Every structure is written in C-alpha cells, then in structure tokens.
C-alpha cells in the first residue's frame, strides 16, 4: 500500500464520519491494515519490576493508565471490538458470554490505589520519574461542548541511549475534564529495546483494553487518530474509532467502535510524555524531543478548529531533571526531555 494513498484515505475517515456514523465506520474499516501477525510480546504490557512503588503487588503490569493486575488488561485481535456492556465481539460476529470485570485494585503511576486521590503521601521510588511528565492540552470550556475528532502525526525517535528497564509512552488523547473516567489514545511505546504502537481505551468495568501491538522502527512516521462514529453535533458519542498507523510501512492497529461510557470528550491532548522507571536522562532518546505535528482537532460539528490554544504543563521538580519543556503552535506540540 502506498503511503500517499493511506494519507488520503485517513483524512477521508474524518469527513466520511461527518456524513454519518455508519459511513464513517465503512471508511475506517477500509484503511485498517491486514498485517496482524506481530510478536506476541507486543501484546503483553510490561511487567512492573523491582523498581515499582512498594505497595504495588508483584506481577502487576504497566499501562498508560498506571499499574494493573494482568487479568484487568485485554488485548483485542484484529476484527474484534469492545461492546458497551464490556463483552468482546469477535471478528466472526460471535460475542463473549461473560463480561470482563476487574476484581483487583489499580494503582496510579505513583503507587496510590485508584480509589484514593493522588497526593504527596503516595508511594515513591527514588530517584525515578513515573507519571505524566509533560503534556499539552485544550478544553472546550463547557460540559455541553465536545470534540468530534483528533488527528496527529509524529516520528518514532531513536533508541534511548541507555536501557535501565524504563518504559516510555507518547500519545495524543481525549478525556472528559468534568468526569474523567477513561481516556482514548493512540500510543507509541518503548520497552526492552522495541518501539511499538497500539490503540487504547481505559477503563470500562475496570478493564484497560488495547488493540494488537504493531512493531515500528526509529524514523517511521506515525499517524494517530480518534474519531467519533456518530453524526455531526453529537455531544456524547457512544462509540469511537482509535487508529495507530505506521505511514512508513502501512501497518496499523485499531480499536473500532470502542465505547465511551457516556463521557463528553471536551479535553484534548496534543501530546503527552508518560515515562516509568527513568533514573537518568540517557533513558530518553538522544534527540531529546518529540514533536506531534499536523495536529487537527475537530469540534462537535466535525469542523477543524483553526487556532487551538495549547496549554503546556511539565514537571519542573521531578528527579532526574531532563530539561523538560512544552512548546505549542496551532498544529504542532513539541515535548522536550
């Protein structure tokens, strides 16, 4: 598949979605890649090792949402989708009889049980960084206005200079700022010497759901999108499509018609860096920055927002300090590290 053809089709996802949810889903399915035979390790979240916060139990795994028991993370195969009640529909149309429910506590990136607020008393390991170190976001400013789509591209960075067991997540995303229950995001991940992409939705019934992982290489161009499957002007769309595509190879991985749990996605992130177990700055790629560019956020009517005012945030006190910073223009967000 030619990259130029992929780009045209991808922009068609957004505009076909504007014509109606069903047509949008047809366009979406036409650009989903057929290459799903990846190494099984790409579908397994990294295990939280000895550097995890002290109160996170052994055997938990690292996700873009914190620490989860492995039974509370599910990876969907190509053609499968998560239904609104939490069951999984397989590619052949059959539906799982039982609903996946998480029976174990989750922990924040700092080690606090998810049922309590993150605060200064949360468990920490020292010196390391675990959590959202930096991000750029915008909001609609209202619970009665939402976003209908977000698209962005970025380049896979070089391999980090050091490997200390760190896990790196880079992504754009959607949340509900008034009732943050979950987040939709196409994610670039580095772990154990491998870059990969997957699409995530967390956390219906306490379960973090991701599409099959796709291996990518330094220098590859990545396209990520989050698109409503509803007609224009829908405040809270019931289902969304989350796409992670390697434009350099044509391989992609999707969460198709994934449920929103009734949220109003009025909080958009143009770029986020979330690292785990970073103990020195060489644990980051040596180019020391990643830019999300060609960012387009669509309003509730599925019209592109011409001049979004990105608000940058970064942790200026975390150890180690790696010259963190966020720069943003209308269609570009750069994260320094």
Condensed to tens digits (0 to 9), the pLDDT of residues 140-194 reads 999 999 999 999 999 999 999 999 999 999 999 999 998 877 899 999 999 999 9
CATH class of 3-336: mainly beta
Distance CA 56, CA 76 (A): 26
Does 43 or 57 have the greater pLDDT score? 57
Distance CA 88, CA 101 (A): 12
Place of tokens 């139990």: 57
309-327: b (≥16 Cβ within 10 Å) or e: ebebebeeebeeebebebe
Name the burial class of residue 92, with classes exposed (0-12), middle (13-18) and buried (19+) by CB atoms within 10 angstroms of its CB: exposed
**How, if at all, do strands 208-211 and 73-76 pair?**
parallel
Distance CA 257, CA 262 (A): 13
Does 45 or 156 have the greater pLDDT score? 156
pLDDT at 30 exceeding the cut of 70: no
pLDDT at 39 exceeding the cut of 70: no
Give the residue-averaged pLDDT of 96-116: 86
Q: How many CB atoms lie within 10 A of CB 38?
A: 16
pLDDT at 1 exceeding the cut of 80: no
Distance CA 115, CA 113 (A): 5
Q: Helix and strand tally (H, E) in the chain?
A: 2, 20
Residue 259: CA count within 13 A, CB half-sphere: 18
Among 237, 288, 294, 285, which Cα is nearest to 260's? Answer: 237
**pLDDT band at residue 40 under the 50/70/90 scheme:** low
User: Which two three-digit tokens encode residue 89?
Assistant: 């529909």
- Tell me, what's the pLDDT at 179? 81
**pLDDT band at residue 23 under the 50/70/90 scheme:** very low
């Amino acid at each position: 598949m030619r990259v130029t053809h992929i780009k045209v089709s991808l922009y068609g996802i957004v505009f076909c979605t504007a014509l109606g949810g069903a047509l949008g889903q047809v366009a979406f399915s036409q650009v989903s890649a057929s290459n799903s035979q990846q190494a099984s390790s790409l579908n397994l979240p990294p295990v939280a090792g000895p550097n995890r916060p002290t109160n996170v139990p052994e055997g938990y795994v690292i996700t873009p949402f914190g620490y989860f028991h492995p039974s509370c993370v599910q990876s969907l195969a190509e053609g499968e989708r998560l239904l609104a009640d939490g069951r999984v529909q397989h590619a052949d149309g059959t539906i799982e009889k039982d609903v996946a429910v998480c029976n174990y506590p989750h922990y924040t990136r700092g080690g606090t049980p998810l049922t309590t607020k993150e605060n200064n008393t949360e468990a920490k390991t020292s010196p390391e960084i675990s959590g959202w170190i930096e991000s750029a976001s915008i909001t609609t400013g209202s619970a009665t206005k939402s976003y209908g789509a977000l698209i962005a591209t970025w380049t896979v960075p070089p391999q980090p200079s050091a490997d200390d067991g760190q896990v790196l997540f880079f992504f754009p995303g959607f949340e509900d700022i008034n009732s943050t229950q979950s987040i939709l995001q196409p994610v670039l991940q580095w772990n154990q010497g491998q870059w990969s992409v997957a699409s995530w939705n967390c956390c219906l019934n306490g379960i973090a759901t991701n599409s099959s992982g796709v291996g990518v290489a330094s220098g590859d161009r990545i396209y990520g999108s989050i698109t409503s499957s509803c007609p224009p002007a829908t405040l809270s769309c019931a289902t969304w499509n989350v796409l992670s595509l390697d434009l350099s190879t044509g391989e992609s991985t999707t969460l198709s018609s994934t449920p929103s749990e009734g949220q109003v996605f009025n909080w958009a992130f143009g770029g986020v860096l979330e690292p785990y177990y970073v103990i020195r700055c060489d644990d980051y790629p040596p180019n020391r920055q990643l830019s999300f560019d060609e960012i387009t956020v669509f309003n509730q009517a599925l019209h592109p927002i011409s001049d979004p005012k990105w608000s940058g945030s970064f942790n200026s006190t975390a150890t180690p300090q790696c010259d963190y910073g966020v720069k943003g223009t209308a269609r570009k967000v750069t994260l320094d590290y």
